[in-house]
């Protein structure tokens, strides 16, 4: 979903380095440029963002299909793979 900013709000966001707080109906909202949001989340570029979403979808598909291991087994395999003592 995409909503258009009013010119006033857009000017406020730009004047505050891409991020502004807006109060409405007793709630406080943060409005920021999408590249700032991605940077904040550590996602990076749009391609990085899309790759992250795809990885999440694939992981969820694995969970739904039962392709999982127990946490204990994961840590055993992780420790072995990285030469850590368990």
pLDDT (tens digit per residue) in 45-60: 888 888 989 999 999 9
Kindly state the tokens that stand for 37.
């949001």
| Helices and strands per DSSP (H, E), number in the chain | 4, 2
Q: Which domain does 16 fall in, by range? A: 7-81
Residue 2 falls inside a structural domain: no
Residue 63 has pLDDT above 60, yes or no: yes
pLDDT of residue 86: 57
Name the domain count of the chain. 1
pLDDT of residue 39: 84
Question: Does the global pTM surpass 0.95?
Answer: no
Residue 32 falls inside a structural domain: yes
- When pLDDT is averaged across residues 14-18 and rounded to a whole number, the result is 95
Residue 27 falls inside a structural domain: yes
CA distance 76 to 32: 42
Residue 42 has pLDDT above 70, yes or no: yes
């Amino acid at each position: 979903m995409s909503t258009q900013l009013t010119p006033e709000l857009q000017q406020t966001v730009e004047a505050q380095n891409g991020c502004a707080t807006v109060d409405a109906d007793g709630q406080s909202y943060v409005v920021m440029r999408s590249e700032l949001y991605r940077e904040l989340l550590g996602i990076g570029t749009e391609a990085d963002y899309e790759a992250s979403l795809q990885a999440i979808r694939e992981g969820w598909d694995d969970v739904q299909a039962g392709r999982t291991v127990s946490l204990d087994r994961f840590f055993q395999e992780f420790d072995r793979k990285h030469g850590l003592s368990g």
